[in-house]
Amino acid sequence: MAFHNDEAVLDIGDKPKFGQWVGLSIQHLFAMFGSTVLVPILVGLDPSIALFSSGVGTLVYILITRGKIPAYMGSSFSFITIMQALMKGAGYPAIAQGTVAVGVVYLIVALIVARSGSAWIDRALPPIVVGPIVMVIGLSLAGTAATDATMRTISATKSVYDLRYFAVAMITLASVIIYNMYLKKFISLLPILLGIVTGYVVALLFGIVDLTSVQQAAWFDLPKFELPFISYKPQLYWGAILSMAPIAFVTMTEHMGHIMVLNKLTKRDFFKDPGLNHTLAGDGTASIIAGFVGGPPVTSYGENIGVLAMTKVHSVYVLGGAGMFAILFAFIGKLSALIRSIPSPVIGGISFLLFGVIASNGLRVLIDNKVDFDKKRNLMIASTILVIGIGNASLQFAGYQFSGLALATVIGIFLNFVLPEHAANEEGAEKNDLI
């Protein structure tokens, strides 16, 4: 007999009644909505495509994991810095190739895991490498957040400081902090969405929102898909591939962390059934699909895991329903136009906290794993990753560009493999202590 978790209101294989199903699925949609649409806004992509690709990606993930893991695939924040740079250069075709490359890396790793296990991942990506890289992902975006929160664009080449923008950003930031700290139950899982709504209303009062596009938009509208051979002629963008592919190893660690949390919540071991190879393949395939339709890379979402923990509704049917609603919402033209009308100071205010939280999570990795910075090895690895990544010391050769974040990731992994456990003078000090 298959295992059934009787402590759950609805276990993984339980199907809710139709009315419950709709309500519970929309609840998950709201939980991921703010973060999923924020990524394309920051990069310059169509939010409706991000919704579509997250919905399709979730359904594909559930299919590949044989309906055994209740997880939602939303837009990944780990690639924002690189995608912003690529968007200013070659545009979406380059991002598309990078996104597909990320998915391919996942599939290759999934194949290796299926054949030889996953211990090598822990060896290549210990906390001393992962923590600083996650910190870089957040801190390298700090300048973007500050610009969005203070500078009003007058023309393509000129921006001016606007005190109203700063006021809106600060009010938005304050609202998100208050929602995070003082709200309870399910609504406490929606601080980003509620913060965007609050900031938007304040921006309306300050007169910095243009609703013309919302008024002109149709209720039903096809997302502006970026399809190869239809929207653009594909060509190899090695710079995009080399910049985005290495970051896949970082998001894998986040993915595995989410699986560990789901194991505890559902009282199962998903590393064994359906297996880490299936979870990685599901995540990778979802990103490949996103790359082919015009969306950013996707990853499992902690917000939705929070909903699972709070409601004790673990039904995979509910997550699948959320995916279907995301696809449906992608075709509502006025919703897409409303999202695109969110002014930059609102995004800046949200970003102050969000990017800081990402960086703080990297610090948390180091603290939780008790990384010892008295060891020179750890100090060398972390210091190198932080300065190369935050400084964006990109490598350029033969017309290709290897981003600072990707370079920091590769160098961090390399140093982890080649540096000895102890420096020569540390070994001497240890021997002296023993005498």
pLDDT in tens, 166-184: 999 999 999 988 988 888 7
pLDDT cut 90: percent of the chain above it:
33
The yes-or-no verdict on residue 13 having pLDDT over 70 is: yes
- The answer as to whether 4 is a domain residue is no
Helix, strand, coil: what percent of the chain each, to 5? 70, 5, 25
pLDDT in tens, 39-78: 898 888 888 999 999 999 999 999 999 999 999 999 988 8
Phi then psi for residue 75, to 5 deg, are -60, 135
What confidence category does residue 99 fall into, taking pLDDT thresholds of 50, 70 and 90? very high
Q: Given this model, what pLDDT does residue 429 score? A: 54
Q: How many CA atoms lie within 13 A of 102 on its CB side?
A: 35
What's the pLDDT score for residue 1?
55
Report the number of distinct structural domains present in the chain: 1
Q: Please report whether residue 5 resides in a domain.
A: no
Q: What is the pLDDT of residue 277?
A: 93
How many other C-beta atoms are found inside a 10 Å radius of the C-beta of residue 201? 14
Instruction: Quote the pLDDT of residue 435.
Output: 47
Q: Does residue 304 carry a pLDDT above 90?
A: no
Cα–Cα distance between 20 and 313 in angstroms, integer? Answer: 11
d(CA 386, CA 139): 9
**Which domain covers residue 377, as residue numbers?**
18-434
Least confidently predicted of 97-106, 178-187, 250-259: 178-187
With bands split at pLDDT 50, 70 and 90, how would you rate the model's confidence at 328? Answer: very high
Q: What is the structure's pLDDT at 398?
A: 59
Asked, for residue 269, whether it belongs to a domain, the answer is yes
Q: Do the beta carbons of residue 381 and residue 412 sit within 8 Å?
A: yes
Query: Does residue 11 lie in a domain region?
Result: no
pLDDT digits (tens, 9 = 90+) for 142-163: 888 888 888 887 766 677 888 9
Whether 150 maps to a domain, the answer reads: yes
| pLDDT for the residue 422 | 81
DSSP element (H, E) containing 151: strand 151-155
> Measured in Å, how far apart are the chain's first and last C-alpha atoms?
61
Q: Which residues touch 102 (CB under 8 Å, ≥6 apart)?
A: 79, 244, 245, 247, 248, 251, 284, 287, 291, 297
Over residues 22-46, the pLDDT tens digits come to: 888 887 887 787 788 888 988 888 8
Q: Is the pLDDT of residue 347 over 60?
A: yes
Q: How confident is the model at residue 186 (pLDDT cuts 50, 70, 90)?
A: low
What is the number of alpha carbons within 13 Å of residue 110 lying toward its C-beta? Answer: 22
What is d(CA 163, CA 425) in angstroms, rounded to the nearest whole number?
Answer: 54
Query: In which element (H, E) is residue 230 found?
Result: none
Rounded average pLDDT over 239-250: 88
Across 330-358, average pLDDT: 84
Please determine, for residue 359, whether its predicted confidence score (pLDDT) is greater than 90: no
Query: Could you tell me the pLDDT band of residue 381, with boundaries at 50, 70 and 90?
Result: very high
- For the cut 90, the answer to whether the pLDDT of residue 358 exceeds it is no
Distance CA 202, CA 173 (A): 12
Buried-exposed string 66-77: b where 16+ CB fall within 10 A, e elsewhere: eebbbbbbbbbb
In a domain, residue 325? The reply is yes
